[in-house]
């Protein structure tokens, strides 16, 4: 189970936190607004109040133990920069920062952010699913219940074909296409073995994503 700290509970931060919890991650949600933190205390693993402009407050959160930190308050440049710098200083392996524009993104990169995102709410969901599973390359909403995921084959799938894997029965998913050298090819022969570096396009119900991530 991955542990993720979401710093800032604006619309994007809440979207990421919700999707991470749905995907089975351990989530720490942090904001300076005590009422908002209280509202989220039953929705995430931990909910904490902190002044994210203050290095000592950030260090007191214990984020050094997190796999990922998501800095989601682009509207507060000071808090974002401080959070990124402290997270990297504490050795967090991956820091993802929300940026309002390209200029801000460049600043965040210079102070240590590993990934920059320019989000709307759906970007938050895609980010969450990519954090949860290292094999997910992209996540696309089709409807409230259905999604398409671009993913690399799991190690246990490599060398086996779709017929013997029977992914529909095992996970409730359908492989609709395979990418080879950036070319998307519909599945025409279910007996061709899967290759490690050829991503799959998978149609799935969102409720089934946990089964195969």
CATH of the domain at 168: 3.30.70.1450
Please state the pTM of the whole predicted model: 0.63
* Cβ contact 70:6 at 8 Å: yes
Range of the domain at 124: 3-132
Q: Point out the domain boundary residue: 100, 132, 164.
A: 132
- Give the pLDDT band of residue 111 (cuts 50, 70, 90): very high
Q: Per-residue pLDDT for 212 more than 70? A: no
pLDDT, one tens digit per residue, over 6-37 is: 999 998 899 889 888 887 889 999 999 999 99
| Whether residues 148 and 108 fall in one domain | no
Contact status, residue 196 vs residue 152, Cβ threshold 8 Å: yes
Q: How many domains does the chain have?
A: 2
**Which tokens sit at 144?**
């409230």
If asked whether residues 76 and 30 sit together in one domain, one would say: yes
**Average pLDDT, whole number, for the chain?**
86
* Residues 119 and 143 placed together within one structural domain of the fold: no
| Sign of the CA dihedral with 14 first, then 20, 24, and 30 last | negative
The tens digit of pLDDT for each residue in 153-162 reads 888 899 998 9
Does residue 141 sit in the same domain as residue 172?
Answer: yes
Whether residue 21 sits in one domain with residue 88 = yes
Percent of the chain topping pLDDT 70: 90
Helix, strand, coil: what percent of the chain each, to 5? 35, 25, 35
């Amino acid at each position: 189970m991955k542990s993720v700290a979401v710093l800032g509970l604006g619309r994007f931060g809440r979207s990421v936190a919700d999707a991470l919890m749905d995907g089975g991650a351990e989530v720490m949600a942090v904001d300076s607004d005590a009422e908002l933190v209280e509202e989220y205390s039953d929705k995430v693993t931990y909910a904490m109040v902190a002044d994210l402009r203050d290095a000592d407050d950030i260090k007191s959160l214990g984020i050094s133990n997190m796999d990922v930190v998501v800095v989601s308050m682009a509207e507060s440049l000071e808090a974002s920069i401080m959070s990124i710098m402290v997270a990297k200083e504490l050795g967090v392996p991956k820091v993802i920062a929300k940026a309002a524009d390209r200029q801000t993104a460049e600043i965040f990169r210079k102070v240590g952010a590993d990934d920059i995102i320019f989000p709307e709410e759906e970007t938050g969901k895609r980010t969450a699913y990519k954090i949860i599973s290292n094999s997910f390359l992209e996540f696309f909403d089709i409807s409230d219940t259905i999604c398409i995921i671009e993913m690399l084959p799991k190690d246990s799938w490599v060398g086996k074909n779709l017929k013997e894997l029977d992914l529909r029965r095992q996970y409730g998913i359908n492989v609709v296409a395979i990418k080879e050298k950036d070319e998307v090819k519909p599945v025409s022969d279910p007996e061709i073995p899967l290759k490690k570096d050829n991503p799959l396009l998978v149609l799935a119900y969102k409720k089934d994503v946990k089964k195969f991530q």
